[in-house]
Each structure stands twice: as structure tokens, then as C-alpha cells.
């Protein structure tokens, strides 16, 4: 698919802020499923700082805004060709050993219920099959429902609640996979439309699980599928905070308000 | 158990101590007491009261200083020096490797799990090669001696080893109180350490730095138990002592706020731990760090000493593999011994340790400061049984080692002079060269018979001499 992405994030501060420092993971990954035509990142009033590819293969860009400013806009405008790779992250260059992704974080730490769910899946010796079954288990046990969970909701809490959004599905799935000894990580990106053709228009997240012989494979438990040409991959981490596309800290004491708009449109051929 | 006495062999005085014998034996009691009081007053005045090695305890408590020096002769030191430098080279090669291709793991010499699932293994710096490939610039290696030519390494400290200010101050105070001693003995100086440290830091400035590098010491602040040492070293090196709030990121670099405007910083000798360095990369609640520092570091705009992630080399589980690193990276045989270590998460080791508790030393994996450990031979049956229950509750939290026969040095005590057990921490500097100042920090267990030298458990410190040829 030829996709055009417009992603605007506006931070409004009730007191002007100074010395805002950001670390942005907002550039598409380089692998066989994606080819970028054009991609621009702009931060209003900002100075572009260091840019580099990290050990996970993600392009990171630092920005600073000296201020004082009462709002900051991060604008992404990009065009990209995507291909259906059946979820396989082929041709992605990275240096981090997969075993590093067996580690838990505070939001993926398993509780007895996650343990029961992970080890309740029996009768399979094939890693790929197991990964699919774990993903299906998450889809079955956590219904998609926005507004019931927050940024800090843990995998255990989401499972107990039985509802959540893509972040919760992804945390739960990474927790389950790690319990079964499969390295797993949180991936952030964009989604053009859900499988029923419904436009998505929000940032998206899914999991990747390391399967012997195949490498990293994406699983979107929130949508019961593997990522295909409707998905744009940005970067990964141990959990949502570690994989966050935008991180920033400013000097200032006031409250901030956040506005996000994402448009992922298919371009005419 | 018999112990190596560093001064006496029977009635004979060993060579390095020959000239000290008269000094000790002719010293009148009242003179000694006067000097001891003088030393204490000097330490109080300069304010060096912090706990060594982040052991905690009362920060205002003075660590007892013993005036009897610990002495090495040149040949002994040379061998130690070779062993320490060898270890320092291997530890840095290991860090370069595990943040790169991981050859030692591919070769099956170290289990992958121990490295990649180690809490101190820092995913965010994989693939980042710091200047000269050096990750750990100041390595404090804790050693004990068990015989004339037998030294064991207890642990390596690759992050931010403290205590070097004691090495410098102990010498300073000894020279001030007993100038005659330094005229009668040819003792290698240690006061070049701050210059060497600065040179080492400057030698690892990033490639993007074109001028003479600006170095700073980053401290968590004056509440930290080692704050004295931070300001002491900054002072002697002639560099700024800064806190996180004094530094900021702008564009591609890190700057320091000064009265004449921002000044770019090239090398940060940090005395704060990885999780607090940068709230954008690590703990978001850290108020000590500098937002954006890690992005600047990872893109080569600033050097951080020690490099983030260096801690994976000094982990207690990794320790057992240091001899293997020396063979693998350097193709050499280790000069210094490792202490045999049983890891209680292994069934065989667990069984052995439980059957031999009265002979062994058992430590917590992440413990320090001599807390939470069992010294089998020095414990009552009841203490051993209480500890056994703790091990049974959580075996993977413990390692065990044989009880080492730590050497003794004569030490001034109430009754006069008596042998007390000692250890040694020299400080190895790694930059364009590997340097070791001839000396270090000797800790001494002041309690009769005690093998625990930690200051929190009744330990003191001594000046450490290396004699010239």
C-alpha cells in the first residue's frame, strides 16, 4: 500500500516552559516490508539535536526547544510504501541480542493469572504455533474497549479487568510470551484501518515475538491478526514506555494538555 | 587456620618492614596516643568522614585511621600491578564485546543468560562504542593476600568505585605527622593520582571535541555519603563539580551553566548510578540526571565515565568468569586468582554449601558493606542454623566462597601493637594508557580475629606504601 501519514501532537502549557528536551522515535523502521518515500519531522521552535540508529535498529532524534513557549507542535508528514510480510520483520538490522527481551518491566510483570494463562496452553512444541495461541488467548481474554485503562495499567490489571486497548493487549502478550521463554517486545507504529475496513486514525501498538528460525514476528492481539501492509512500524522496547515514540521533559511547573491527531490515508496508485 | 603476617616471619622482620621496626618499637606510648589524637583531629578538620564504598551507616562517623603503614616492596607490587592491569584490560574487552557481537557468548565461554538478562546489561547502549573502546575508566579491584605471592580478587568495581580520597588523605596525613619516616624510607608517591585521572578523562573525549576537553564531575549532591570525595577530586583535578541541574542539553551537545554563559562539556566523570543519569532514557522520576544526556552520549557528543552499562562486568555472577575473559580476549593466564565461588541457584553447589556451611563465607548476591553475610568459621552453631533458614528461603540470593586466610598487618591497638586482617583496593585508570598509582586503600579489621574489614563492621584504614627499588 502507498500510505500517507500526517501525525500532529500538540502540547499546550498553562505556564510557559523552557528547555524542553525530546527524544523522538518517529521514523519508520527499515525492513523489507517498508520503503519510505519522504518523511519529515518538525518541532515548532525546536533545534534538531543528535540523530542516530540505536541497537534495536530504531532511528532516534533528539530535539530541544529553548523557549519560553506556551505550546509545542510535533508534526510528522510522510509517505511510505508497505508490503504484507505476514508479520515477519525481514531485513531489519539490529544488534540487540533477543534474549535481552526476556526481561520483565513493572507493567509486564506476571501475576498468577497471567502465569495460568501462559501455561494453560499445552500440546504444542512449535514456537510459532505457541506464539499464535498466546496471541489468540489475549484476544479472547481482553476485549477491546477504550477508556477503561490508562497509560500505567499493567498487563496483570488489564487481564483482571478483561478489557483494554492495544497497549494492554500488547503488554499482556509480551508478558505471556516471556513466561514461555520466548523473547517478546512492544512495538509502536501506525495502522491504516482495522481488518473490517474501519479507519484507525490513532497511533497503534502490537507485539513482536522471537521465533527460532524466523526471527521477530508481529502479533496484533487487539485486532486478532499479524501486521500486514496496513501497518507502519516505528520502533520497539520492553514495554510502552520503553518504546514510546515521544519522550520529553521541560523546565516549568504548570500543567500540560495534549492533543493528538493521526491520519493514515491510502494514496492513489 | 594460619594467616600470613605481612611484617613478621616468626621473629624475623620481613624486608619491606625492616626500617619500620625501630620506629614502632621505640615509639613511647604517650607519643603514640598524642599522634593518634592529632590524626583524628586532622581527619575531622578536613571533613573526611564518609562511609567507604557506599556502605551506608552514619555519614558523620570518622573511620578509624591506623598509623601503622602497610608496606609492599617493589617486586611484590610489580606483580600485583601486572595482574590488576591484565584484569582491567579483560573487563573492558568484555564490555566492548557484550555491547557488540558477543563473541565470548557465541564461543560458549559465558552463558548468554547471565549477560543479556542481567539487570546491569543496558540495552540502550548496544552498538555504542565509546572513545578508545573504554567503558570502565576507573576500576577498583578488591584484593586480599593469603601468602607471600598469593593474592585473590574478591570483586571488581567497574562503575564508580569510591575511597580513593582515603588513599590520598591517608598519605597526606602520614607525611604531615611523620615527615622523618618519609625521609628514611623510599616510598613511591601517590599524589599524582588526580593529574592521571584528569589525563585519563581527557584522553577519552569524544571525536567531536576539538579543543582541550572540558571535564566535570557529576555528583548526586551533598547528601551523598561520598560527596566529600567528589568535591575533593574536582578540586585537585581543577575541574568543575556539578549536579544534574547545572548541566543541560541543547541541540547536539551538553552544556554547563556558568556565570559567563553556557560552556560545552566533553567528558562527564559521573558519580551517580545509571538509572539516575537521564530521566528520558532511564527512571523518569529521577531528579538527579540530565534530560537528553543519553541521546547526546549515544550520538558521540559527550563521554560518560564510566560508560552507562559498565556495571554488567562487575556483577557477582559475572565475576566467576573473569579468568575466562582473560584467556579469551588476551590469550593469557590470569595473574591474580579468583576466589572459588559456589552459586546457590545450582543444585550441586547448593548441596555442597549446605553441607559445609561452618567452613564457608556466604554472601548476598547484591549485598555490600559486610551486611547480610555469614562467616562460617567465626559463627556460632546457632548463627549458622539461622542463616541456613535464610538461604533455604531464597537460595538464588546467595553465593558462597571458602573462608580466605586474609593476611595480617601490625596495627596499633589498645594494648600496643597486634596483627589485624587487611584487604586492599588499588585504583586502575583506563584511557589511552592503563595506569596504576603505586598504592591504594588498605582496610583493616580492627576487632581481634575479625575477617570483616568493612567500616560499618568495625573496620579502619591504613596508608599503603610501595617502596622504590
- Would you list the DSSP string of B144-178? EEEETTEEEEEEEE-S----HHHHHHHHHHHHHH-
A252: pLDDT confidence band, cut at 50, 70 and 90? confident
Instruction: For residues B385 and B347, give the distance between their C-alpha atoms in angstroms, rounded to a whole number.
Output: 20
Q: Do B298 and A54 touch (CB under 8 A)?
A: yes
Nearest to A50 among B100, B105, B252 (CB): B252
Per-residue pLDDT, B55: 52
Instruction: For residues B102 and B111, give the distance between their C-alpha atoms in angstroms, rounded to a whole number.
Output: 11
Please tell me the distance in Å from B307's CA to the nearest CA on chain A. Answer: 16
- Count of CB contacts below 8 A, A vs B? 92
Residue of B nearest to A250 (CA): B291
Q: Which of A205-219, B6-20, B402-416 has the highest mean pLDDT?
A: A205-219
Q: Which residues in chain B are closer than 8 Å to A22, comparing Cβ atoms?
A: 280, 292
Q: Do B295 and A62 touch (CB under 8 A)?
A: yes
Q: Do A47 and B117 touch (CB under 8 A)?
A: no
| Strand-pair category, B434-436 with B427-430 | antiparallel
A205 shares a domain with A121: yes
Mean pLDDT for chain A? Answer: 95
Mean pLDDT for chain B? Answer: 92
Instruction: Assess if residue A87 is contained within a domain.
Output: no
Average pLDDT in the A41-53 region?
96
Q: Which residues in chain B are closer than 8 Å to A103, comparing Cβ atoms?
A: 117
Instruction: Assess if residue A92 is contained within a domain.
Output: no
A153 shares a domain with A134: yes
Average pLDDT in the B397-419 region?
91
Q: Do B125 and A55 touch (CB under 8 A)?
A: yes
Instruction: For residues A260 and B1, give the distance between their C-alpha atoms in angstroms, rounded to a whole number.
Output: 72
Instruction: For residues A184 and A225, give the distance between their C-alpha atoms in angstroms, rounded to a whole number.
Output: 16
Instruction: For residues B237 and B269, give the distance between their C-alpha atoms in angstroms, rounded to a whole number.
Output: 12
Per-residue pLDDT, B378: 86
Q: Do A97 and B116 touch (CB under 8 A)?
A: yes
The range of the structural domain enclosing residue A46 comes to 2-82+246-266
Instruction: Assess if residue A153 is contained within a domain.
Output: yes
Average pLDDT in the B282-307 region?
92
A199 shares a domain with A125: yes
A174 shares a domain with A137: yes
B117 inside 8 A of chain A by CB: yes
A217 shares a domain with A124: yes
* Tens-digit pLDDT profile for residues B156-183: 999 999 899 999 999 999 999 999 999 9
Instruction: For residues A163 and A152, give the distance between their C-alpha atoms in angstroms, rounded to a whole number.
Output: 14
Per-residue pLDDT, B60: 60
Q: Do B301 and A50 touch (CB under 8 A)?
A: yes
Q: Do A60 and B296 touch (CB under 8 A)?
A: no
CB B245 within 8 A of CB B205: no
Instruction: For residues B8 and A16, give the distance between their C-alpha atoms in angstroms, rounded to a whole number.
Output: 72
Q: How many CA atoms lie within 13 A of A167 on its CB side?
A: 19
Give chain A's domain count: 2
Interface test with chain B among A100, A179, A235, A253, by most B beta carbons within 10 Å? A100
Nearest to A54 among B124, B252, B291 (CB): B124
What is the torsion angle, in degrees rounded to the nearest 10, for the CA atoms of residue A166, residue A168, residue A169 and residue A171? 120
CB B3 within 8 A of CB B408: yes
Instruction: For residues B159 and A82, give the distance between their C-alpha atoms in angstroms, rounded to a whole number.
Output: 44
Say which DSSP state A99 is in: G
A108 shares a domain with A54: no
CB A39 within 8 A of CB A78: yes
Instruction: Assess if residue A183 is contained within a domain.
Output: yes
Secondary structure of B285-297 as H, E, C letters: CCCCCCCCHHHHH
Q: Which residues in chain A are closer than 8 Å to B127, comparing Cβ atoms?
A: 54-55, 95-96
Query: What does residue B285 show for φ and ψ, rounded to 5 degrees?
Result: -90, 0
Instruction: Assess if residue A90 is contained within a domain.
Output: no
Interface test with chain B among A24, A62, A240, by most B beta carbons within 10 Å? A62
Instruction: For residues B312 and A204, give the distance between their C-alpha atoms in angstroms, rounded to a whole number.
Output: 34
Q: Do B292 and A23 touch (CB under 8 A)?
A: yes
Instruction: For residues B430 and A243, give the distance between their C-alpha atoms in angstroms, rounded to a whole number.
Output: 34
CATH number of residue A13's parent domain:
2.60.40.2250
A141 shares a domain with A11: no
Instruction: For residues A236 and A41, give the distance between their C-alpha atoms in angstroms, rounded to a whole number.
Output: 19
The least confident of A126-130, B42-46, B246-250 is B42-46
Q: How far does Cα B433 stand from its chain's mean position?
A: 19
* Tens-digit pLDDT profile for residues B311-320: 999 988 899 9
Instruction: List A residues 224-263 in contact with B (Cβ-Cβ < 8 A).
Output: 238, 241, 247-249
Per-residue pLDDT, A196: 74
CB A259 within 8 A of CB A12: yes
Q: What is the share, in percent, of chain B residues with pLDDT greater than 70?
A: 96
DSSP string, B218-272: E---TTSTTHHHHHHHHHHHT-EEE-GGGEEEETTEEEE--TTS-EEE-EEEE-S
A154 shares a domain with A134: yes
Q: Nearest-5° angle of CA B424, CA B425, CA B430?
A: 145
CB B236 within 8 A of CB B194: yes
Q: Do B126 and A56 touch (CB under 8 A)?
A: yes
Per-residue pLDDT, B176: 93
A229 shares a domain with A138: yes
* Tens-digit pLDDT profile for residues A150-174: 999 999 999 999 999 999 999 999 9
Instruction: Assess if residue A23 is contained within a domain.
Output: yes
pLDDT above 90 for B264: yes
Measured CA to CA in angstroms, residue B28 lies from A224, B22, B23, B32, B94 at distances of 87, 12, 10, 6, 53
Average pLDDT in the A74-85 region?
97
CB B140 within 8 A of CB B161: yes
CB B231 within 8 A of CB B241: yes
Residue among B463, B375, B456, B457 at smallest CA distance from B411: B463
CB A185 within 8 A of CB A175: no
A231 shares a domain with A253: no
Left, alpha or beta for A98 (phi > 0: left; psi -120 to 50: alpha)?
alpha
Average pLDDT in the A95-118 region?
97
Q: Which residues in chain B are closer than 8 Å to A247, comparing Cβ atoms?
A: 280
Work out the end-to-end distance of chain B between its first and last CA atoms, rounded to an integer number of angstroms: 33
B123 inside 8 A of chain A by CB: yes
Residue among A240, B397, B133 at smallest CA distance from B125: B133
A228 shares a domain with A102: yes
B281 inside 8 A of chain A by CB: yes
Q: What is the share, in percent, of chain A residues with pLDDT greater than 70?
A: 99
- Map out the domains of chain B with their CATH numbers: 110-137+195-312 (3.40.50.11290), 340-402 (3.30.1490.270)
CATH number of residue A118's parent domain:
3.10.620.30
Residue A242 burial (CB count, 10 A): 20
* Tens-digit pLDDT profile for residues B339-387: 999 988 889 999 999 999 999 999 887 666 566 789 898 899 999 999 9
Average pLDDT in the B239-249 region?
97
Please tell me the distance in Å from A253's CA to the nearest CA on chain B. Answer: 14
Q: Which residues in chain A are closer than 8 Å to B128, comparing Cβ atoms?
A: 55
Collapse the DSSP code of B342 into the 3-class scheme (helix H, G, I; strand E, B; otherwise coil) and give the result.
Answer: strand
CB A2 within 8 A of CB A266: yes
A185 shares a domain with A140: yes
Instruction: Assess if residue A164 is contained within a domain.
Output: yes
A30 inside 8 A of chain B by CB: no
What are the residues whose beta carbons fall under 8 Å from the beta carbon of B131, sequence distance 6 or more?
A: B204, B205, B206, B207, B303
* Tens-digit pLDDT profile for residues B47-94: 665 555 555 555 566 788 999 999 999 999 999 999 999 999 999 999
Q: How many CA atoms lie within 13 A of B467 on its CB side?
A: 19
Q: So what's the ipTM on this one?
A: 0.95
Instruction: For residues B199 and B217, give the distance between their C-alpha atoms in angstroms, rounded to a whole number.
Output: 14
Instruction: For residues B283 and B373, give the distance between their C-alpha atoms in angstroms, rounded to a whole number.
Output: 30
CB B355 within 8 A of CB B362: no
Q: Do A248 and B295 touch (CB under 8 A)?
A: no
Per-residue pLDDT, B367: 64
Instruction: For residues B1 and B375, give the distance between their C-alpha atoms in angstroms, rounded to a whole number.
Output: 14
B229: pLDDT confidence band, cut at 50, 70 and 90? very high
Q: Which residues pair with A79 in a beta bridge?
A: A4, A38
pLDDT above 60 for B193: yes
Q: How far does Cα B418 stand from its chain's mean position?
A: 26
Instruction: Assess if residue A14 is contained within a domain.
Output: yes
A90 inside 8 A of chain B by CB: no
Say which DSSP state B456 is in: G
Q: Which residues in chain B are closer than 8 Å to A19, comparing Cβ atoms?
A: 248, 250
Please tell me the distance in Å from B273's CA to the nearest CA on chain A. Answer: 19
Would you report the helix, strand and coil content of chain B in percent, each value rounded to 5? 40, 25, 40
Amino acid at each position: 500500500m502507498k500510505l500517507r501519514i500526517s501525525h500532529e501532537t500538540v502540547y499546550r502549557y498553562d505556564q510557559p516552559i523552557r528547555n524542553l528536551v525530546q527524544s523522538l522515535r518517529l521514523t519508520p523502521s527499515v525492513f523489507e516490508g517498508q520503503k519510505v518515500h519522504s518523511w519529515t519531522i518538525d518541532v515548532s521552535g525546536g533545534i534538531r539535536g543528535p540523530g542516530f540508529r540505536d541497537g534495536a535498529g530504531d532511528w532516534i532524534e533528539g530535539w530541544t526547544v529553548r523557549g519560553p513557549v506556551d505550546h509545542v507542535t510535533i508534526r510528522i508528514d510522510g509517505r511510505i510504501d508497505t508490503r504484507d510480510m505476514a508479520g515477519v520483520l525481514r531485513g531489519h538490522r539490529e544488534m540487540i541480542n533477543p534474549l535481552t527481551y526476556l526481561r520483565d518491566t513493572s507493567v509486564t510483570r506476571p501475576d498468577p493469572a497471567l502465569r495460568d494463562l501462559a501455561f494453560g496452553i499445552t500440546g504444542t512444541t512449535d514456537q510459532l504455533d505457541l506464539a499464535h495461541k498466546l496471541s489468540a488467548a489475549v484476544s479472547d481474554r481482553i476485549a477491546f474497549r477504550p477508556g477503561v485503562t490508562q497509560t500505567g495499567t499493567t498487563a496483570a490489571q488489564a487481564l483482571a479487568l478483561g478489557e483494554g486497548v492495544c497497549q494492554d493487549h500488547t503488554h499482556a502478550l509480551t508478558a505471556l510470551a516471556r513466561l514461555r521463554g520466548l523473547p517478546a517486545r512492544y512495538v509502536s507504529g501506525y495502522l491504516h484501518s482495522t481488518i473490517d475496513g474501519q479507519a484507525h486514525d490513532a497511533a497503534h501498538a502490537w507485539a513482536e515475538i522471537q521465533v527460532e528460525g524466523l526471527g521477530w514476528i508481529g502479533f496484533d492481539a487487539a485486532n486478532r491478526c499479524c501486521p500486514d501492509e496496513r501497518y507502519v512500524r516505528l520502533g520497539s522496547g520492553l514495554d510502552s514506555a520503553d518504546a514510546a515514540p515521544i519522550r520529553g521533559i521541560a523546565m516549568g511547573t504548570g500543567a500540560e494538555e495534549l492533543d493528538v491527531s493521526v491520519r493514515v490515508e491510502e494514496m492513489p496508485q | 587456620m594460619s594467616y600470613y603476617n605481612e611484617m613478621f616471619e616468626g621473629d624475623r622482620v620481613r624486608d619491606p618492614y625492616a626500617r619500620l621496626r625501630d620506629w614502632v618499637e621505640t615509639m613511647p606510648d604517650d607519643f603514640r596516643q598524642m599522634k593518634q589524637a592529632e590524626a583524628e583531629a586532622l581527619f575531622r578538620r578536613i571533613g573526611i568522614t564518609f562511609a567507604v564504598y557506599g556502605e551506608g551507616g552514619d555519614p558523620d562517623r570518622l573511620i578509624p585511621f591506623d598509623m601503622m603503614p602497610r608496606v609492599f616492596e617493589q617486586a611484590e607490587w610489580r606483580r600485583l600491578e601486572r595482574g590488576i592491569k591484565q584484569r582491567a584490560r579483560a573487563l573492558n574487552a568484555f564490555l566492548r564485546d557484550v555491547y557488540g557481537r558477543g563473541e565470548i557468548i557465541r564461543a560458549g565461554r559465558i552463558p548468554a543468560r547471565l549477560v543479556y538478562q542481567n539487570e546491569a546489561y543496558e540495552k540502550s547502549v548496544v552498538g555504542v562504542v565509546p572513545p578508545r573502546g573504554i567503558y570502565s575508566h576507573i576500576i577498583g579491584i578488591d584484593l586480599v593476600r593469603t601468602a607471600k605471592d598469593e593474592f585473590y580478587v574478591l570483586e571488581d568495581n567497574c562503575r564508580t568505585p569510591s575511597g580513593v580520597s582515603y588513599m590520598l588523605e591517608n598519605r597526606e596525613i602520614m607525611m604531615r605527622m611523620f615527615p622523618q619516616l618519609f625521609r628514611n624510607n623510599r616510598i613511591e608517591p601517590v599524589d599524582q593520582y588526580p593529574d592521571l585521572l584528569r589525563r585519563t578523562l581527557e584522553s577519552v573525549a569524544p571525536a567531536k571535541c576539538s579543543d582541550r576537553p572540558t571535564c566535570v564531575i557529576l555528583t548526586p549532591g551533598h547528601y551523598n555519603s561520598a560527596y566529600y570525595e567528589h568535591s575533593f577530586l574536582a578540586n585537585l583535578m581543577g575541574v568543575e563539580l556539578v549536579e544534574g541541574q547545572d548541566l543541560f542539553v541543547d541541540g547536539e551537545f551538553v552544556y554547563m551553566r556558568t556565570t559567563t554563559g553556557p560552556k560545552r562539556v566533553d567528558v562527564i566523570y559521573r558519580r551517580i548510578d545509571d538509572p539516575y543519569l537521564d530521566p528520558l532514557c532511564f527512571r523518569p522520576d529521577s531528579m538527579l540526571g540530565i534530560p537528553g544526556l543519553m541521546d547526546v552520549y549515544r550520538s558521540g557528543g559527550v563521554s560518560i565515565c564510566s560508560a552507562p552499562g559498565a556495571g554488567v562486568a562487575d556483577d557477582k555472577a559475572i565475576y566467576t568468569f573473569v579468568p575466562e575473559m582473560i584467556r579469551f580476549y588476551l590469550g593469557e593466564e590470569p595473574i591474580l586468582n579468583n576466589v572459588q565461588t559456589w552459586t546457590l541457584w545450582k543444585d550441586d553447589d547448593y548441596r555442597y554449601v549446605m553441607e559445609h556451611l561452618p567452613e564457608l563465607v556466604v554472601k548476598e548476591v547484591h549485598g555490600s558493606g559486610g551486611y547480610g553475610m555469614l562467616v562460617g568459621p567465626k559463627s556460632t552453631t546457632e548463627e549458622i542454623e539461622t542463616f541456613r533458614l535464610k538461604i533455604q528461603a531464597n537460595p538464588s540470593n546467595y553465593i558462597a566462597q571458602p573462608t580466605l586466610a586474609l593476611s595480617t598487618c601490625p596495627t596499633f591497638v589498645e594494648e600496643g601493637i597486634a596483627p589485624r586482617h587487611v584487604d586492599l583496593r588499588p585504583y586502575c585508570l583506563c584511557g589511552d594508557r592503563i595506569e596504576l598509582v603505586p598504592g591504594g586503600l588498605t582496610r583493616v579489621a580492627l576487632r581481634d580475629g575479625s575477617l570483616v574489614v568493612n567500616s560499618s563492621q568495625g573496620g579502619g584504614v591504613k596508608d599503603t606504601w610501595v617502596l622504590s627499588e
